[in-house]
Copies of this chain bind each other. A is one copy, B any other.
């Protein structure tokens, strides 16, 4: 085993910069989602982004459809007296030649009843294609799968 060279260290730091940027991106993204900040959350997607989930017959495309879906979910949670927390992690970050970044991750959704218990609501896998626009990462496409529906 040998110590890393200076060039390897620099390259690891640069890769580490992207890895941290991806984690920061998902953190703010999920905080917005769980606060029901539908429009701000939708701005983490490109204008023409596509979002596929197993419970819909076709992908949701575009920010207006995405934010509408979050507004509906947020209203249903208020009605139910539940707080959801989307917890993304276990990020496998794969930079592509064209500058986009494929991210394979897990997302666990924790649910808590106000005045009551917390539980694991869902365990999902997520494959995103992130692109950079104006210096920021945005989701161009997302594919979510649920472990209970496999």
Contacts and interface: CB of A to CB of B under 8 A. Distances in A.
Interface stretch (A6-14, A36-44, A50-58, A60-68): A6-14
Contacts of A19: 16, 20-21, 23-24
Given A31-B104, A112-B147, 20 more contacts: A4-B132, A9-B17, A10-B14, A10-B17, A11-B17, A12-B14, A12-B21, A13-B16, A15-B21, A16-B16, A19-B23, A23-B91, A27-B92, A27-B104, A28-B92, A85-B147, A108-B118, A110-B123, A115-B148, A118-B147
A122 interface: yes
A79 interface: no
| Shortest 5 CB-CB contacts between residues of A and residues of B | A16-B20, A12-B17, A13-B17, A19-B20, A16-B17
A114 B149 CA distance: 6
Task: Count copies of this chain in the complex.
Answer: 3
A69 interface: no
Interface of A: 1-4, 8-21, 23-24, 26-28, 30-31, 83, 85, 87-93, 98-100, 104-106, 108, 110, 112-123, 131-133, 135, 147-150
30 contacts: A1-B99, A1-B100, A1-B133, A10-B17, A13-B13, A15-B20, A15-B21, A16-B17, A16-B18, A16-B20, A17-B20, A19-B20, A19-B23, A20-B20, A24-B93, A27-B91, A27-B92, A27-B104, A28-B92, A30-B90, A85-B90, A85-B123, A87-B108, A108-B110, A110-B123, A110-B147, A113-B148, A117-B148, A118-B122, A119-B120
